[in-house]
């Protein structure tokens, strides 16, 4: 048997190489060499990202288990960039005395979830998909419960693993029904075999629950606020951007590749989920006092907007989806970056703590404001463009009512984003949060995100590149 075709899995192998190298380095490096652990890991990840960002020709190996299409390179690159930004933001946290011994594990676990997402994205078979999904969620649980002596963190970990396992078991049940009705689990064969019998529709409903859970759509979102609040802020960022971003892309490709014939069944399902996610999450977000819970609900509603791109099922929809994830990554990570810095230095995460932040921390307030404006979809920031394209993709397929409801919701979302801006800029406070000093890594990450928010929308070439490789029904 010829194993050389396996080497085509560039991304997976180079990430695996980095993981093994870091593990060995972590064990054998002396006190002095350990200082370079984080910079080294970051540099390796940057090289890995750049090397793998260039799309190659599509291929299929291992008898169709692993299927690569050029678009996946971009998606994986977005996930990589997001991970780099999050690692930069976690740099200080991991350098602390108490966390230094667990640093190797942190990196290893983050990279294994990333690897799991790679496999999930490139899977050509439901088994492969399931292995990827689990590889992505189980290390994530350990990361959520990373601070094991913190009650909230441990609780969040337990909550996540229980609900994640429950969701994936339902998903596996759905897969078994698919196998039962068609006799195969390969995506390429299923495309013609799934014709819309009642059993297959049931299988689809069960199967998709696992992904809806990952994307945290209403009504599968109940874990999100608690887990977001309990886990360490950088992990929260990882959950809300990377984990979600990979899942929406996989959902899109599966819907058009495998369940293409069921389009008249899944469109109404997604229609309802989109409206429920956006509306419910928006209404709950208004009432939140804790910023991390607030952003949990905000990211649920953002996921609802992404569904508008998925529902269109067109090539334009896929391009808007990938672009939306890219922009969402920049905006959300900028917001989480600011919150994590302030939480780490002062321990404050309540919205009322942010009153008068502008007086003491003008730069951090500015970055947070840009991020919130971008999330709310205000021009000339990138979020405006991504929202417009998503709406445009849905409107092109005639979903005007859905677009209208989503747009009405953007007003509600603008209201609660403005509440934060109001706290920072307008509200008076006798003793606001003192001046926070951020280290070079956080500064770099925030500068990078700000650049993304400002430039990605105005430079049309980025969207152009993405749309060249997108495909739809």
Partner 1 sequence: MNFLSLFVLIPALMMAGLFLSKSRNQIRTVAAIGASLLMILSGILTYLYLTQRAAGNLAEMLFTSDTVWYAPFNIHYTVGVDGVSVSMLLLTSVIVFTGVFASWKIDPLPKEFFLWYSLLSSGVYGFFISTDLFTMFMFYEIALIPMYLLIGVWGSGRKEYGAMKLTLMLMGGSALLLVGILGIYYSSGATSMNILEISKHHIPMAFQRYFFPLTFMGFGVLGALFPFHTWSPDGHASAPTAVSMLHAGVLMKLGGYGAYRVAIYLMPQAAHEMAWFFLILTGISVVYGAFAAVHQTDLKYINAYSSVSHCGLVLFAILMLNTTAMTGAVLQMLSHGLMTALFFALIGMIYGRTHTRLITEMGGLMKVLPFLGVSYVIAGLASLGLPGLSGFVAEMTIFVGSFQHVDTFHRILTIVATSSIVITAVYILRVVGKLLFGAVQDAHHQHLEDATWYERLSVVTLIIAIVAIGSAPFWISNMIHDSVVPVLSQIIK
Give me the residues that bind partner 1 (CB under 8 A), please: 316, 319, 373, 378-380, 384, 388-389, 391-392, 395-396, 398, 400, 403-404, 407-408, 410-411, 414-415, 418, 421-422, 425-426, 460, 463-464, 467
In the complex with partner 1, which residue's Cβ is closer, 46 or 401?
401
Minimum CB separation from partner 1 for residue 413, in Å? 10
Tell me the C-alpha to C-alpha distance, in Å, between residue 159 and each of 166, 217, 223, 227, 284: 11, 17, 7, 7, 20
**Taking the complex as a whole, how short is the minimal distance between the CB of residue 79 and partner 1, in angstroms?**
23
| 165 or 403: CB nearest partner 1 | 403
Whose Cβ is closer to partner 1: residue 52's or residue 279's? Answer: 279
| Burial annotation 283-305 (CB, 10 A radius, 16+ → b, else e) | ebbeebeebbbbbbbbbbbbbbb
- The beta-strand segments (E) located in 62-184 are 66-68
Give least dist CB 277 to partner 1, A. 18
Give the whole-angstrom CA distance, residue 76 versus residue 122. Answer: 10
**Min dist. Cβ of residue 178 to partner 1 (A):** 34
Q: Residue for token digits 């799934």? A: 194
- Of 120 and 319, which CB lies nearer to partner 1 in the complex structure? 319
Minimum separation from the CB atom of position 281 to partner 1 (A): 18
| Nearer Cβ to partner 1 (177/325) | 325
Is 1 in a helix, a strand, or coil?
A: coil
User: What is the DSSP annotation of 270-319?
Assistant: HHHHHHHHHHHHHHHHHT--BHHHHHHHHHHHHHHHHHHHHHH-SHHHHH
CA 298-304-307 angle, to 5 degrees, is 150
Question: Which residue in 354, 336, 340 sits closest to 428, CA to CA?
Answer: 354
Beta carbon nearer to partner 1, 119 or 425: 425
- Is 163 or 467 the residue whose CB approaches partner 1 more closely? 467
Q: What is the DSSP string of 357-394?
A: HHHH-HHHHHHHHHHHHHHHT-TTSHHHHHHHHHHHHH
Token output for 466: 């993405």
CB of 454 to partner 1, least distance (A): 12
Assign 59 to helix, strand or coil: strand
Rounded least distance, CB 411 to partner 1, Å: 5
């Amino acid at each position: 048997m010829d194993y050389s075709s396996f080497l085509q899995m560039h991304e997976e192998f180079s990430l695996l190489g980095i993981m093994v190298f870091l593990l060995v380095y972590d064990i054998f490096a002396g006190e002095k060499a350990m200082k370079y652990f984080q910079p080294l890991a970051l540099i390796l990840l940057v090289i890995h990202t750049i090397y793998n960002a260039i799309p190659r020709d599509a291929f299929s190996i291992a008898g169709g288990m692993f299927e690569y299409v050029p678009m996946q390179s971009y998606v994986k690159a977005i996930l990589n960039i997001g991970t780099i930004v999050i690692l930069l933001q976690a740099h200080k946290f991991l350098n602390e005395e108490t966390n230094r011994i667990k640093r190797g594990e942190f990196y290893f676990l983050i990279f294994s979830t990333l690897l799991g997402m790679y496999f999930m994205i490139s899977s050509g078979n439901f088994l492969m998909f399931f292995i990827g999904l689990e590889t992505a969620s189980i290390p994530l649980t350990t990361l959520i419960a990373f601070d094991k002596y913190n009650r909230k963190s441990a609780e969040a970990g337990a909550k996540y693993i229980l609900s994640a396992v429950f969701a994936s078991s339902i998903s596996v049940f759905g897969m078994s029904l698919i196998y039962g009705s068609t006799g195969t689990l390969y995506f390429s064969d299923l495309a013609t075999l799934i014709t819309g019998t009642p059993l297959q529709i049931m299988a689809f409903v069960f199967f998709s629950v696992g992904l809806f859970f990952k994307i945290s759509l209403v009504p599968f979102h109940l874990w999100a606020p608690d887990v977001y609040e309990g886990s360490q802020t950088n992990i929260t960022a990882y959950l809300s951007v990377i984990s979600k971003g990979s899942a929406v892309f996989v959902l899109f490709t599966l819907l058009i590749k495998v369940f293409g014939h069921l389009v008249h069944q899944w469109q109404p399902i997604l229609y309802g989920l989109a409206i429920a996610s956006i509306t419910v999450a928006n209404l709950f977000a208004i009432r939140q006092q804790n910023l991390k819970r607030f952003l949990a609900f905000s990211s649920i509603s953002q996921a609802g907007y992404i569904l508008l791109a998925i529902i269109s099922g067109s090539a334009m929809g896929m391009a808007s989806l990938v672009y939306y994830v890219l922009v969402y990554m920049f905006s959300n990570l900028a917001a989480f970056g600011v919150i994590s810095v302030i939480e780490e230095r002062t321990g404050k995460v309540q919205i009322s703590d942010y009153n008068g932040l502008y007086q003491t921390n003008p730069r951090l307030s500015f970055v947070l404001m840009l991020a919130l404006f971008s999330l709310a979809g205000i021009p000339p920031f990138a979020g405006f463009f991504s929202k417009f394209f998503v709406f445009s993709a849905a409107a092109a397929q005639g979903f005007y009512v859905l677009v209208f409801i989503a747009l009405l919701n953007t007003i509600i979302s603008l209201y609660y984003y403005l509440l934060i801006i109001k706290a920072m800029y307008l509200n008076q406070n006798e003793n606001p949060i003192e001046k926070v000093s951020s280290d070079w890594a956080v500064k770099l990450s925030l500068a990078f995100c700000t650049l993304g928010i400002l430039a990605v929308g105005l430079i049309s070439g980025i969207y152009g590149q993405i749309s060249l490789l997108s495909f739809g029904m």
